[in-house]
Amino acid sequence: SAAEGSFLFKVNGENRWYLYWDYNDIHQFGVMETTNLDSGEWTSLGINKNMPSDNVRHGGSTPVTQKELEAILSKWNPNGEKLKISEVSALAESELTVTESKQLSELNLPKTVAVTLSNGMQATADITWESSDYQSGVNGSYTLTGKLSLSEAEKAKIPSANGGTVTVNDNNKTVSMTCVVRLTAVNKDALNKAIEEAKKLTESDYTAESWQPFAAALKKAEEISSNAGATAEQVTNALAELNNAFAGLTQITPPTPVIPVTPSKPAQLPFNPNAGSNMSKFPFTDVPSDSWYYSSVKAAWENGLINGTSPTTFRPDNTLTVAEAIKLAAALHQLESEGKVTLRNGQVNWYDTYVAYAVQEDIIEAKYQRYTVSQMNAPATRREFVHILHGALDEYDAINSIGENAIPDVKTGDTYAAEIYDFYRAGILTGSNAQGTFHPESSIKRSEVAAILIRMYDESMRLEKTL
């Protein structure tokens, strides 16, 4: 049959072409398709398939009106195609709930959203979030607005109808979502108790150098305590800093030194600034006389190996930090080698002088000098505590028969296994049960630290154990 009026057009954004022609005798369109215009190979789609609108014109030369031309040019500029975001897909979530204090930049908000451009193409827009009223740490409901923009890489994916440049007006659309701040209550009992004990101290009793960081730590702790939006991490860090500052206090007039357990180890200027004063009055009200650690804590305190977290509290269940472990190792080494402890807190970080001394004396490795504040304030594992303390003394005479791999959870090839086995064989450690289980990755309590220190310091306190 005869045909006329063939016309060809390309699908925008795709390498796909359609050819239409009119069957004269049946007055219907034939349709063919190709994805390679140069090949000359077409696939017939049949008759009246994928039809354009009813008012499409066809023929050799197809005129358009001025109004139609202006409409075309409004969407396609032959000197550079200008597009805009016409539609924005809905966000997966319209509301975000947060339970701890976070800045706007810390919220887990959508970073991108699918959009449709004015030429019908799909794209991915980046979202920049802002809010005029959002307050971190304050319960409430806040409206967040996200400005949309297309990255240069995304714009490069958009084909131009004439092969020219493409610009996208990407500021005409926004998205929004609701952020509900519903803070979870953080337990501040331990912090508040430490603040209460700290306020009982008198500035005139201590040196200015040691009181200044203590006062700063106390002020920060009070701020965190009064902040309803404080996170659990902030409370933990404030408590650790206050305890560390308390441990670093130095009395102006040192008390009379205690008569040591071993005469060759005088406890002058020991860890405990109160050693030797009122020895008959054991000060810690939270160390019951019937507890397993009472005698260890009492002996360690009497010999200046430990102090409390306040004048009357020891906090036996509190954990020890890496920095505190290094301080103990450095001071015990100096006490053993020089007969007294002269180390004092550092100017920048309180633990700097102890770390420097411990590295210099080969107690610990130089890597500890590169530790961040967070790493130093982190709880020490039992494995790392033994490693740090092991270097404080030169020798550990074996009194126990502990075979290789006899400790259930410490094999001879494990990290720091040699030092752990040294402590077992010397009677400094015996394990947490009859089998001698060590729990190397658990944190270590202050009560356990006191027992280890007094056994290191006084060999008569060491225990027999066979595994």
Is pLDDT above 50 for 282?
A: yes
Q: How far apart are CA 340 and CA 407, in angstroms?
A: 35
Alpha carbon of 209 to those of 76, 219, 246, 347, 457: distances in Å? Answer: 74, 16, 12, 8, 29
| Comparison of pLDDT for 48 and 188, the residue scoring more | 188
pTM of the complete model:
0.46
Of 84-93, 266-275, 277-286, 356-365, the poorest mean pLDDT is in: 266-275
Is pLDDT above 50 for 207?
A: yes
Q: How many residues does the chain have?
A: 467
Q: How far apart are CA 271 and CA 250, in angstroms?
A: 10
Q: What is the maximal distance between C-alpha atoms in the chain?
A: 124
Q: What is the DSSP string of 90-115?
A: PPS-SEEEE-S---GGGS----EEEE
Q: How far apart are CA 326 and CA 329, in angstroms?
A: 5
Express as a percent the part of the chain with pLDDT over 70: 80
Is pLDDT above 50 for 270?
A: no
Q: How far apart are CA 219 and CA 419, in angstroms?
A: 40
Express as a percent the part of the chain with pLDDT over 90: 38
Predicted pLDDT at 56: 54
Q: What is the DSSP string of 136-181?
A: TTS-EEEEEEEEEE--HHHHTTS--TTSS-EEEE-SS-EEEEEEEE
Is pLDDT above 90 for 391?
A: yes
Q: What's the distance, CA 122 to chain centroid?
A: 37
Predicted pLDDT at 153: 86
Of 12-26, 62-76, 335-349, 361-375, the poorest mean pLDDT is in: 62-76
Most confident of 132-146, 154-168, 437-451: 437-451
Of 12-26, 85-99, 442-456, the poorest mean pLDDT is in: 12-26
How high does pLDDT run on average in the chain?
81
Alpha carbon of 79 to those of 10, 85, 166, 167, 388: distances in Å? Answer: 20, 20, 9, 11, 73
The 3-class secondary structure across 310-356, one letter per residue, is CCCCCCCCCECEHHHHHHHHHHHHHHHHHCECCCCCCCCCCCHHHHH
The 3-class secondary structure across 236-282, one letter per residue, is HHHHHHHHHHHHCCCECCCCCCECCCCCCCCEECCCCCCCCCCCCCC
Query: Residue 353 corresponds to which tokens in the numbers above?
Result: 């002088």
Reported as a pLDDT band with limits 50, 70 and 90, residue 171 is low
Instruction: Answer whether 393's CB lies under 8 Å from 336's CB.
Output: yes
Query: Residue 401 corresponds to which tokens in the numbers above?
Result: 């028969």
**pLDDT of 304-331, one tens digit each?**
788 888 888 899 999 999 999 999 999 9
**pLDDT of 120-146, one tens digit each?**
788 899 999 999 888 877 788 999 999
Predicted pLDDT at 316: 92
